[in-house]
Every structure is written in structure tokens, then in C-alpha cells.
Structure 1
Amino acid sequence: MKARIALMLAAFWWGSLTTIGFLVVPMLFARLGNPAVAGNFAGELFAAQTWIALGCGLVLLVHARAGAGASIDGPARTTISLTVIALLLALLQQYAVAPHILARENLRLWHGLGSGMYLGQWVCAGILLWRMGRRTA
């Protein structure tokens, strides 16, 4: 039962990253017409996504650690490492990169860096989901 809940959290995390980053935000910029307004909405969505990442990631860390028992073996270590990397990317994007984007400082650099971090988080969450799905099947 706990493994299925963890799998659902991993799916929620990856799905929310996919929906916000690859569907909703591009639609905002395409439909609103004003990049400043779309950017403000996108920033709020990415901030909410950071909270989703923190919630899902922390629960997945607790689940991985509890399932590992006394020693953390290869699969548990990989799960923990991917989760920590994804969480760090989410936090860095939100608290180190986003303020520069909102201040419109060197927008090309900071936006590229933030997009790369978001993509990295998406890849980590996707690998987690794939690995967890394989184990519960």
C-alpha cells in the first residue's frame, strides 16, 4: 500500500511538472499576448510547483529511507539521490534564479538557467517514476 502511494506521489510530481512547464506556461505566453502578464502568472505557477515538489519529494525521501531498512543499498541510494537532486534543483530555481528573472536582470542567462533546472527536475522525477513503476508492477 505504501509503495502505491509513493508511486502516486511520484506520478503527481512528474505530471504536474509536465503540465505546468510544457502545456500551461507556453499557453499563457501564446494566449495572453502580453509577455509581462504571462510571465507573472508563470512565476506564480512555478512557485506553486516548487511547493508540490517539496511535498512530494520529502514524502518520497521518507518512504525510500523507511523501505531501505538498516542499510541503504543501490536502488534506495539511487532513489534518494534522484529525489535530493530534483529537490535541490527546484529550490535553486525558485530562490536563486527566479528573483533574477522577476527583476528582469540578464533575462536570457537567468531564464536559460531556470529552464535547464526545470528540465533537470523533470528528468529526475521521470526517472523516479519509471523506476518506482517498474518495482510495483
Structure 2
Amino acid sequence: MLSRAAFILVAFWAGSLWTICGIVAPSLFAILEDRRLAGQLAGRFFHIETWIGVGIGGLLLVLSFAGKITVPRLWVALAAGFPLASYLILGPLMSQARAAGDMARFGMLHGVSAVLFLGACLSVLVLLWKLSRPAG
């Protein structure tokens, strides 16, 4: 029963992550003429997504360490940790770069952040793959 719940939680997590990364953020930049506003809105969605991942990932890890479910802990930690690192470490650095007008540095940091979110997207894909395999 809890294994099914874990699968559903990861499926929700994957869907929300892929929707933000693959649809919402690119659409904001395609639709809005004000790129700064598009960036602010995308940043807000990434902020929300980061905490969804931390919440679901944390719950899965707690249940796993308590012996209630079996999940590949490394992939859970990567899927939750990549966006969290982006938010806590790169976010302030990107804000500093933008405030200083150092758009080259901002662009480089933004690229690293994008790679981290791609890593999270791939990590939840691996999680879904592993959780959907028949036991045995």
C-alpha cells in the first residue's frame, strides 16, 4: 500500500517538475515581452517546485529510513537536492550578479541552475522507472 503511495507521490512530483521546467518557464519567456517579469514569474514557480521536491523527497526518505517503504534513496536525494542547491546557493549568486549588472556571470549561473533542474528531472524519471518495476 505504501509502495503505491510512494509511486503516486513521485509521479506527482515528476509531473509538477516537468511541467514547470518544460512548459511553464519556456512559455513565460515566449509569451511575455517583459523578460524581467518572465524571469521573476519563472523564479517563483521554481521556488515553489523546489519546496514541493524537498517536501516529497523528505517524506520519502523519512519513510524509507523508518522501514515503511523501499525507494532508491540516492535518486530521491538527487531529485530533491539539485533544485535545493540551485535555490539556496545559486539563487543568491544570480541576484548579486544581476544587481551588479554582471549579466555574463548571471548567464553562467543560470546555465548551471538549468543543468541542476535537468538533473532533477532525470532523477525523478529514474525514480519512476525503478518504482514501476514489478517486485522480484
Paired AA for residue 124 in structure 2: A
Compute the displacement of 1:40 (Å).
0.3
Structure 1 distance, partners of 2:59, 2:4, is 13
> Is residue 94 of structure 1 aligned with residue 83 of structure 2?
no
* Percent identity (aligned): 34
TM normalised by structure 2 equals: 0.86
- For the residues of structure 1 that align with 2:134 and 2:88, how far apart are their CA atoms? 34
Q: CA deviation at 1:86?
A: 2.1
Q: Is the 2:13–2:56 contact (alpha carbons within 8 Å) kept by the matching residues of 1? A: yes
Report whether the alignment pairs 1:109 with 2:108.
yes
CA deviations over 1:59-81 (Å, ceiling 9, x no partner): 1112333147xxxxxxx5x7111
- Matched-pair contact (CA < 8 Å) for 2:2–2:68: no
**Unpaired stretches in structure 1, ≥5 consecutive residues:** 69-75
| Equivalent in the alignment of 2:4 | 4
The one-letter amino acid of 1:101's match is M
What letter matches 1:96 in structure 2? Answer: I
For 2:31, the equivalent position in structure 1 comes to 31
Aligned residue for 2:76? 83
The equivalent of 2:128 in structure 1 is 129
RMSD: 1.7
Alignment partners' CA distance in 2, 1:50 and 1:130: 21
Counterpart of 2:63 in structure 1 is 63
Q: Quick one: distance in 1 between partners of 2:84 and 2:134?
A: 28
Q: How many Å separate the matches in 1 of 2:31 and 2:95?
A: 20
Shift of 1:120: 0.5
Shift of 1:107: 1.6
The count of aligned residue pairs is 128
Where 2:72 maps in the other structure, the secondary structure is helix
Assess if the C-alpha contact under 8 Å between 1:14 and 1:126 holds in 2: yes
Unaligned runs of 5+ in 2: none
Please show how residues 47-58 of structure 1 align to structure 2 within 5 Å. 47-58=47-58
- Does residue 118 of structure 1 match 2:117? yes
